[in-house]
Structure 1
Amino acid sequence: MAKKATSQPLLAGFDDPAPAPAVAITPTPATILPTVPVDHAALDTHAVVVNEAALAKAPANEPLSLKGKRVYLVDAYSLIYQVFHALPEMTGPSGQPVGAAHGFVRDMLDLIENRGADLLIAAFDHPSATFRTELYTEYKANRQEMPVDLQPQIPLIKQFMDALGIPALALAGYEADDLLATLALQAHEAGAECLIVTSDKDCRQLITDNVRLYNIRKNEAMDAAGLLEVWGIRPNQVVDFQSLVGDSVDNVPGIPGIGPKTATTLLQKYETLEGVYEHLDELKGKQRENIEKGRESAFMSRDLVRLKADLELDFNWSIGLIGGMQPAVLAELNRHAGFKQLAKRMESLAAKFAGDALPTAPGPTHDFSSAEFVAKREIVASSPAAEVVSRPMVATADPWIVDYRTVATVEQLDELIEQMKQQKEIVIDTETTSLRARQAEIVGYSFCWTPGVAYYLPVRAPAGETVIDPQLALEKLRPVLEDPQIAKVGQNIKYDQLILRSAGVTLRGVAFDTMVADYLIDPGERSHNLDDLAVRHLGHQNITIDTLIGTGKNQKRMDEVPVAIITQYAAEDADVPLRLKAVLEPRLAEQDLLPLFHELEIPLIDVLAEMEFNGIRVDRERLKQLDEQFTLRIAALEKEIYEIAGAEFNIDSRLQLSKLLFEDLKLPIVKRTKTGPSTDVDVLEELARLHPLPAKIIDYRQNSKLQSTYVLALQELIHPGTGRVHTSFKQDVAATGRLSSQDPNLQNIPVRSEAGRAIRSAFLPGPDGWLLMTADYSQIELRVLAHFSGDVTLQQAFILDRDIHTQVASDVYGVPLEQVTREMRRNAKAINFGIIYGQSPFGLSKALDISQGDAAEFIEAYFSRLPGVEKFMEQVLLDCRRVGWVSTILGRRRPVQGVRDPRVQVNKRQRTLPERIAINTVIQGSAADIIKRAMINVHRRLAKEQLQSRLLLQIHDELVFEFPPDEQERLAQLVGEEMSTAAQLSVPLKVDVKTGPNWAACEVLE
């Protein structure tokens, strides 16, 4: 076995450029979680540092033959930065940034699964000074500090590598590239196929006949021929090429005035750097002058760019073999990060390499973000650790003993009903033929009130099986189902309500929903389905739906499954929620969430079920007209785009568009993705300032998306029996507490664009002669901000019913209200809304098309004139660091990790992702609480006053109703009262009420 450089596990012996804050995570019992490294002042410079799990794979005194093996060497930070900048923001269950970790780990899995890796080794830069900084103190002096949202992801990446058994190497005094050079040379000499995963051009000097540079995005490897095509030189000329040209990324000076083309020409003619100077007299003019003056710089640059391929490493190649995975640790890390899909891939890989797995016997446990990583600089100093309790993983032996029974006769059903009438609480679940409640038929019912004992009542089954008549069963069950005194428990019980409502039964007494309960406890979790809850909270693996009905072409309908088999599945679906309730209810109480659960989220289920059942009428003929209009508009845009481009191309092809923009039109590359230069909307908006084509592309994409997502899709979603679209409102998706909708998602229809208004015009009231009413909270998030911050300027503006953006502009610019210009108001509006989302000077500068300096000054002026806002934001962050979570006006909690101390930050305007999440959750989550309460109150008033008017939709801060004309005044008064009094704020809640014949035509009600 290779000698350890230190006894510390996982990259022990070196720290990262910017350590992550420490947040305690209690691990699953008997699960060994890896630690993160500590900073050691001195190390043997020839002792390569290796993570503990990788070392455990190396057999003592058994050198590995590399001949014929494929070796991947990964430049870790190069790849980490690549995925960080290429991928969209992604957060874990506790709000921590995890996008770069997800991308990097995904790439490692891809190398193992799909790229034929026999060995996989990663190299990291060591934080100690290198010999290069001794040669040239300005070396890499222009490098910016690691982005704040990347810093906390480095420990997580290393922990994943350790649990995957991937060696992570570092060496004091040297860079990762030097390790890669030495290992590549060894692999070359040993006859291995070596692929270096990096985007660093320095590594091009390492190319040989069996060492290539691998572009993981394009699945392409650069060899000597590829290098010749790109730079026009051989691998052994790369060092001299860079000595002439320099490297702005690493601040290598090279020779000023010598660019790549000149360097290529010189080396093609004179072979080496020495050769260039030996023939200096053959050069002319400014070129000769530059090269002559730059002699010292060129040779010094060569010492900087030449990689050390002769390091004496105490190293055993066996540690790079695929294997040594730790399934239990991987499962816990994936749960912590919220990586569901990656978890499945790792589980499969761990099973494949099970023979090589490391033992996971009980041992010392460690925090995910260990205190060993607490920063030495106050700017990232951590708060006292806030405990986040880990949930149990699947038990190795499932101890459940169950009694699941089929109710096969009317006599058995009667007996079951009599028993249920004696219960205070029962679990109910329905099995159906479709996930679309308005189109589904009931296959059977399951009930449970004693853990381990559950009943399945089939009403549809394969031919030849005995079942009870569906209508007879429903009528016999009606008294129990509609009895509000018998509490009903379920998982996503809104679906069961809709199923029963469609069958003519109103489910009353809904008291507990395990999906909603888990969502309140862990709002950052990406899944709250029953199978996941059973694993997470009970250590039990449910029978899966795929096991029951199959997948793909062989998939059955539920009523095609034999009763004996479906009984076990369906009864379990009733048993598990009852057991979950016993676990989740105390946790709701521990987090003071019971009032929010029982007074807001559970009553809301009835409201949402009613809204989904009602649906909203959509005019199919109007959609067909719009389809024709969109088709003509898109065709016209295509013609304009081709004229501007000078040629026809596939506008929907990102590759063809990228070539046109960046190669043909020579527009600057704004950012890159994993497949090349980005052409997303942010990039196109940036490029639209330089050329007319990007703006047309944006217009084309918007129209194409609206046509496919709404104009065409809505026609398919119109229910044939009701003529309405029945969207599904989701309570368990947005961590802030906001509702979302799907099938279709009506919340993303543009409000202010002409195309968006055209689509809204197809939404109509149901009965002929009725009208639609919209009731929209006016600037509710800013009013919530005014309430929480206590800022006098904001509060006075709302109390006096002034235009908030004009008022803020007046204060920030120091001019009277009547002198506020449209531009001033526009700027104030941008920062008013941007501040809620933690907008930086860079973000504001882009929004307003001004310099970052001007944007920074404007932000400073804003906070100086509205000091209450900044105090509120700092208090939110301080409280979050202290307790580990933020809360809304009604007590909704959201755990957030990685918040820094606002009192010691150098730049308070550069908010990290967790900090933006923390502040936004308090404001947006409180606004969500308020409109949910308003919905409940409106729903109850409508029932109490026996109005025909119906609540149909909730679109963020807006409610949509349909009503008969004679109820207009009463409905407007009722809605206005309930919405404006849904919360007692220090400023008024203002509601704008509009009515009209369709959604787009609603106008202010006088």
Structure 2
Amino acid sequence: MFMNKFLIIDGNSLIHRAFHAIPPLTTSDGTITNAVYGFTNMLFKVLQKVEPGYIAVAFDKGKITFRHASYADYKAKRKATPPELRSQFPLLKEVLRHMRIQTLELENYEADDIIGTLTKLAEGEDIESFVLTGDRDALQLVSPRVRVLLTKKGITEMEEYDEGGVWDRYGVNPPQIIDIKGLMGDASDNIPGVPGIGEKTALRLIQEHGSLEDVIADREKLPTRWRNKLTEHQDQAVLSKKLATIDRQVPLNIEVQQFKWPGPDYPALLDIFSKLEFKTLVHNIMDKAGHSDKTGKLPGQAAGGPDKLDTYSVDYQRVSSAEELLQIRKAVSTSGQAVLELLGTRETGISQAALSAAVGDIIYLLPVKEKAEALDAIADICADPQIKKICADGKEVLWLLHRHNRTMQGLAFDIQLAAYLLNPSLSQNTLTDLALQYLQLVLPTEGEAAAAARVDVLGRLAQLLHQKMVETDMDRLYYDVELPLVAVLADMEMEGVAVNPPILSSMAEETGRQIDLLVQEIYRLAGEQFNINSPKQLGDILFNKMELPVIKKTKTGFSTDASVLEELAPSHDIVAKILAYRQLAKLKSTYIDGLFGLINPTSGRIHTTFHQNVTATGRLSSSNPNLQNIPIRLAEGRLIRRVFVPCQPGNLILTADYSQIELRILAHMSGDLNLVNAFNEGQDIHSRTAAEVFGVPMEQVTPEMRGRAKAVNFGIVYGISDFGLSRDIKVSRAEAGQYIRSYFERYSGVKEFIDRKIAEARDKGYATTLLNRRRYLPDILNRNRVIRAFGERTAINTPIQGSAADIIKLAMVRIHNELKSRHMATKMILQVHDELIFDVPPEELPVIKDMVREYMENALQLDVPLVVDLKLGPNWYDVRKVP
């Protein structure tokens, strides 16, 4: 599954098409299901085609939208939804819920508008959108990062449109679709257009003139019959274009990440398919799961009785006596292994426990809630380092034990972590998902039987996934880096980081004061008070009242997005004030105010959650708070770090940051002599690159030259294009292209490395890091040039960024182990990108400085030195460089 694909489905369009394409179907109790059945079949087909990492389905909500305010007869001729179809909407939404696909609808807006807004959000995060619909209006959304899958022949086939496809079909660019609609109208939506002008004429006029406005402006040059029609119906044409324009700024208050698709809830999905009597769909899934008895009836179905689902079950033994607990301890001690499943929550601790001493051995259920001695037995087994533990989620087990003041040593296998390593793009990594994927088993979801089945599956998966890691040469990465890191991250989460609430309160107060001042200044410059957060009111102030140049328009009026305001900033002081207001308002609501709610009332600390199995590159991510996203480029954002302080008075915060690690890895992996020599000689790499690219001695490199060279250096790592570089450093595309060519002339080894990595990825289908971490790249062979280019950039960046992730993880494991073995009070408390943060007692500082630098700089031997910058201070912000 490729995580950078977002499938966005027009729910209303697809269910209507399915309803009219599929003959009536009913269940034995008379429930009509044809539209749901057709929709679901099409959904599975497109999932196989697109392999999305994100999915959403948009629906209309109500018949009245904002368009009716402009044109009361909008869609007035639409027939009412047949009751036979209306009754199927709740059924479809239940299927989607079990598919774990989110749905969206909003009063006053159509599904098209929600889809347009989602594609815009996705474009901003470099995520490619695929819009599945039967409505050609969606073609206006097509862009380098948006494609439309247009259903035809009911729902059995689909046409895929990219920008070239729209041009080939209509001879216009996607945004011009709305200009065509302005002229020809749309009978299905009751959009009037210009009477007498059909599709053929509209296409010709737009192809020749460019836009509806240009056609109107040039109407005196047109033949009399068209000129008269345009003169008479000019306002109607402009209104029609407005009605046909998709609003891409629907106030949904959403983020793309919340639509990340974890895959279906298979047991629940099988259950609803059984109830709807979708026997073909049930058989398809059950055949995949290895449960079909091939007789034409569902597994477990009695003659004439209801359909039932066949789920995996195993024998188990409930433990109730002290003698039985002793028997369990002896069994695991003898085998040296425990396959362990602990259920519960971080807040309440363990609610259920099950284990076996070996794969295929007796599975025991322990009454941990009823008997303290059962919890003691589990805790003793977990604490024994000689007993190897196999778990589904090792960090969660550590947290559950932590709630009972217990711990675990000897974690030997983490199922979810192994599955992530084998395919980091796979988001379906719960034990239920993995059992279905690797063992073709459908697990029960609740009760004792579920716990027992999970234990059995854990052991079988551990054997299978271990073998797969050996075959893919990732066993060293798993056992030396990722698996030991589980305990490191658990300790960091449990330790937490202390915060200073008074400073946070002061920041909230000061930021609020700055926001208030900006608001008053904006009102003064505008000459009136208005809602700054309203795009409509803001657009009216900027473009109608103040008559600033209009950069871009939306369906509902003037665009006031960030790109527009940044372009307008030199035009008037109010624009810069509005930009500053927006930055501070987001900073306060998301980060400053947000941190208050994350302070643990018991510990007084913030316990962020580190995610080890999320990113495709291998980097860690975090949530609550998301430390990686604190906006440190903004001065006020950097100040947030002042809130993070040592846990004890007198302690200090030590930060250790890898210097230019990705460029150093590039030098090592490419073997380019100029780059390697620059690092080995301790030169400033950006000045050296500037000297090479601009052909001047290093002492003549200006700050501007160095800045541009820096952009080239880091851009090369991410496969930057001349267009991207020109945008970043504000030069012409031709000049940016010359910088890149000059760079490759001087660093020919880097160019050879890039070409080699792209060729390897095309040949193998994946890219690897220095420690053989894999990232699969299905798009590198895509026939679409834009998608293929993204795959090629990923093939360049993954070995570099992924190796940087491997290196800092190695360092974290070794430093953590050293701190433990020496029984030191210093704690590693945070990790952000290439930086580690420590809480250090002053008496340990001399030892810690040398230890951290030693382990980080020698985590992996490269052909160039790894360099770590140490900084020290009373909080994370006020740190100063340590010699």
TM-score category of the 2 structures, normalised to the smaller one: 0.7 to 0.9
> What SS does the corresponding residue of 2:796 show, helix, strand or coil?
helix
User: C-alpha distance in 2, partners of 1:759/1:259?
Assistant: 54
1:307-344 deviation digits (Å, cap 9, x = unpaired) = xxxxxxxxxxxxxxxxxxxxxxxxxxxxxx98557999
> How far does residue 32 in structure 1 lie from its aligned partner after superposition?
9.3
Where does 1:802-821 land on structure 2 (aligned, <5 Å)?
802-821=683-702
In the alignment, the residues of structure 1 paired with residue 154 and residue 828 of structure 2 have an alpha-carbon distance, to the nearest angstrom, of 51
Instruction: Name the structure 1 match of 2:484.
Output: 603
Number of the residue aligned with 1:955 = 832
**How far did residue 689 of structure 1 move?**
5.0
* Residue pair 1:122, 1:166 contacting (<8 A) in 2 also: no
Aligned with residue 748 of structure 1, among 622, 629, 634:
629
Mark the CA change 1:945 to 1:358 in structure 2 (over 3 Å): closer, same or farther: closer
Match of 2:14 in 1: none
Using a 3 Å threshold, how does the CA distance of structure 1 residues 343 and 944 change in structure 2: closer, same or farther?
Answer: closer
* Aligned-partner Cα distance in 1 for 2:138–2:640: 53
Distance (Å, rounded) in 1 between the aligned partners of 2:48 and 2:402: 53
2:137–2:177: 8 Å Cα contact kept in structure 1? no
The residue matched to 1:960 in structure 2 has which SS?
strand
Does the Cα contact within 8 Å between 2:770 and 2:803 map onto a contact in 1? yes
Q: Which residue of 2 aligns with 1:457?
A: 366
How far did residue 792 of structure 1 move? 2.4
**What residue identity is the alignment partner of 2:695?**
G
**Residue 165 in structure 1 maps to residue 156 in structure 2:** yes
1:727 partnered with 2:761: no
Moved more, 848-857 or 968-977: 848-857
How much has 1:508 moved relative to structure 2? 0.7
Look up the equivalent residue of 1:272 and give its one-letter code. R
Q: Are 1:942 and 2:819 an aligned pair?
A: yes
Q: Quick check: 1:841–1:853 contact (8 Å CA) kept in 2? A: yes
Aligned with 1:260 (options 206, 216, 219): 216
> Contact 2:368/2:375 (CA < 8 Å) preserved in 1?
no
Q: Alpha carbons of 1:688 and 1:827: their partners in 2 closer, same or farther (altered >3 Å)? A: same
Give the aligned partner of residue 384 of structure 2: 483
- Which residue of the partner structure matches residue 445 of structure 1? 353
Matching residue's letter, 2:180: D
Identify the residue that residue 30 of structure 2 maps to in structure 1: none
Q: Is structure 2 residue 662 aligned with structure 1 residue 781?
A: yes
Cα 1:612/1:827, change in 2 over 3 Å = same
The aligned residue for residue 646 of structure 2 is 765
Quick one: structure 1 residues 454 and 662, their matched pair in 2 at CA, closer, same or farther if it must change by over 3 Å?
A: farther
Matched residues in 1 for 2:644 and 2:466: separation?
41
In the alignment, structure 1 residue 967 sits paired with structure 2 residue 848: no
> What is the aligned counterpart of 2:493 among 588, 612, 621?
612
User: Which runs of structure 2 are paired with 1:518-533 in the superposition (5 Å)?
Assistant: 518-533=419-434
**Residue 504 of structure 1: CA displacement?**
2.6
Q: Using the TM superposition, give the Cα deviation of residue 915 of structure 1 relative to its aligned residue in structure 2, in angstroms.
A: 1.4
* SS in structure 1 of the partner of residue 438 of structure 2: helix
Amino acid at match of 2:325: L
Q: Which residue of 2 aligns with 1:1000?
A: 877
Give, in whole Å, the separation in 2 of the partners of 1:124 and 1:628: 46
Three-state SS of the structure 2 residue aligned to 1:235 is: coil
The residue that corresponds to 2:237 in the other structure is none
Query: Residues 653 and 874 of structure 2 are in contact (CA less than 8 Å); yes or no, is this contact kept in structure 1?
Result: yes
Of 669, 678, 681 in structure 2, the residue corresponding to residue 800 of structure 1 is: 681
Amino acid at match of 2:872: T
SS at match of 2:809: helix
Aligned positions of 1:322-471 closer than 5 A: 340=262, 395-396=291-292, 397=299, 398=310, 400-432=312-344, 434=345, 437=346, 439-448=347-356, 449-451=358-360, 454-460=363-369, 467-469=370-372
Structure 2 residue matching 1:995: 3-state secondary structure: strand
- The equivalent residue for 2:66 is none
Alignment correspondent of 2:179: 201
Counterpart in the other structure of 2:5: none
Tell me: CA distance 1:861–1:457, structure 2 relative to 1, closer, same or farther (3 Å).
Answer: same
- Shift in Å, 1:658: 5.5
Q: How far apart, in 2, do the equivalents of 1:67 and 1:259 lie?
A: 30
Determine the structure 2 residue equivalent to 1:272: 225
* CA shift for structure 1 position 635: 1.4
- Aligned mates of 2:500, 2:775 — CA distance in 1: 41
**Following TM superposition, by how much is the alpha carbon of 1:654 offset from its aligned partner in structure 2, in angstroms?**
4.6
Secondary structure at 1:542 match in 2? coil
Q: Which residue identity does 1:202 align to in structure 2? A: I
- Contact 2:780–2:787 under 8 Å retained in 1: no
Structure 2 counterpart SS, 1:523:
coil
Q: Who is 1:291 aligned against?
A: none
Indicate if the aligned counterparts of 1:338 and 1:525 stay in contact, CA closer than 8 A.
no
Alpha carbons of structure 1 residues 85 and 499: separation in structure 2 relative to 1, 3 Å: closer
TM-score (norm 2): 0.73
Name the counterpart of 1:100. 129
Change (3 A) 1:206 1:348: farther
Cα gap change, 1:882/1:79 in structure 2, threshold over 3 Å: closer, same or farther? farther
Alignment partner of 2:400 out of 499, 503, 512: 499
Distance 1:575 1:852, change over 3 A: same
The count of residues paired between Structure 1 and Structure 2 equals 732
CA–CA distance in structure 1, aligned partners of residues 526 and 800 of structure 2: 45
Matches within 5 A, 1:75-94: 86-89=120-123
Amino acid of the residue matched to residue 458 of structure 1? P
The 3 A distance-change label for structure 1 pair 491 and 867 is same
Structure 1: 5+ residue stretches without partners: 1-30, 37-65, 73-77, 92-96, 109-119, 126-142, 180-196, 213-220, 228-233, 280-336, 363-390, 461-466, 549-564
| Post-superposition CA distance 1:554-598 (Å, at most 9, x none) | xxxxxxxxxxx3x23433443332232233222212211111111
Distance (Å, rounded) in 1 between the aligned partners of 2:809 and 2:727: 34
> Displacement, 1:266?
10
Q: In 2, are the aligned partners of 1:123 and 1:176 still within 8 Å (CA)?
A: no
What are the superposed Cα offsets for residues 346-380 of structure 1, whole Å, 9 maximum, x if unpaired? 97999599789989999xxxxxxxxxxxxxxxxxx
* Structure 1 SS opposite 2:845: helix
Flag the structure with more relative contact order, 1 or 2, with Cα contacts below 8 A and sequence separation at least 6: 1
**What amino acid sits opposite 2:838 in the alignment?**
F
| Residues 511 and 911 of structure 1, relative CA distance in 2, 3 Å threshold | same
Unmatched tracts of structure 2, length 5 or more:
1-43, 50-76, 86-111, 233-258, 293-298, 300-309
When structure 1 is superposed on structure 2, of 527-536 and 781-790 the one drifting more is: 527-536
Are residues 790 and 696 of structure 1, via their aligned partners in 2, closer, same or farther at CA, if it must alter by over 3 Å?
A: farther
Asked if the contact 1:121/1:168 (under 8 Å) is kept, the reply is no
Cα distance in 2 for residues equivalent to 1:581 and 1:658: 59
Which residue identity lines up with residue 479 of structure 2 in the other structure?
H
Distance 1:442 1:582 in 2: 26
> In structure 1, what residue type is equivalent to 2:365?
Y
Q: 1:660 to 1:886 in 2, by over 3 A?
A: farther
Are the structure 2 counterparts of residues 482 and 878 from structure 1 closer, same or farther at C-alpha, using a change threshold of 3 Å? same
The question of whether the paired residues in 2 share the 8 Å contact of 1:885 and 1:893 is answered with yes
Aligned to 1:713, the other structure's residue is in SS state helix
* Aligned twin of 1:631: 512
The root-mean-square deviation of aligned C-alpha atoms, in Å, is 4.6
Change over 3 Å in CA distance of 1:84–1:870 after alignment to 2: farther
**1:409-448 Cα distance to aligned partner (Å, 9 max, x none):** 444333332322222322223222x3xx3x4333232213
Q: What is the match of residue 55 of structure 2?
A: none
Q: State how 1:839-988 maps to structure 2 within 5 Å.
A: 839-899=720-780, 912-988=789-865
| Distance in 1 of aligned mates of 2:519 and 2:674 | 49
**5 Å matches for 1:567-606?**
567-606=448-487
The residue type equivalent to 1:165 in the other structure is T
Contact 1:121 / 1:166 at 8 angstroms: preserved in 2? no
For residue 898 of structure 1, give the secondary structure of its aligned residue in structure 2: helix
- SS of residue in 1 equivalent to 2:597: helix
Distance 1:855 1:647, change over 3 A: farther
Question: One-letter code of the match for 1:976?
Answer: R
Query: Does structure 1 retain, via aligned residues, the 8 Å contact 2:857–2:865?
Result: yes
State how far apart, in whole Å, the 1-side matches of 2:567 and 2:335 are.
64
Over the matched positions of the two proteins, sequence identity in percent amounts to 34
- Output the TM-score relative to the length of structure 1: 0.65
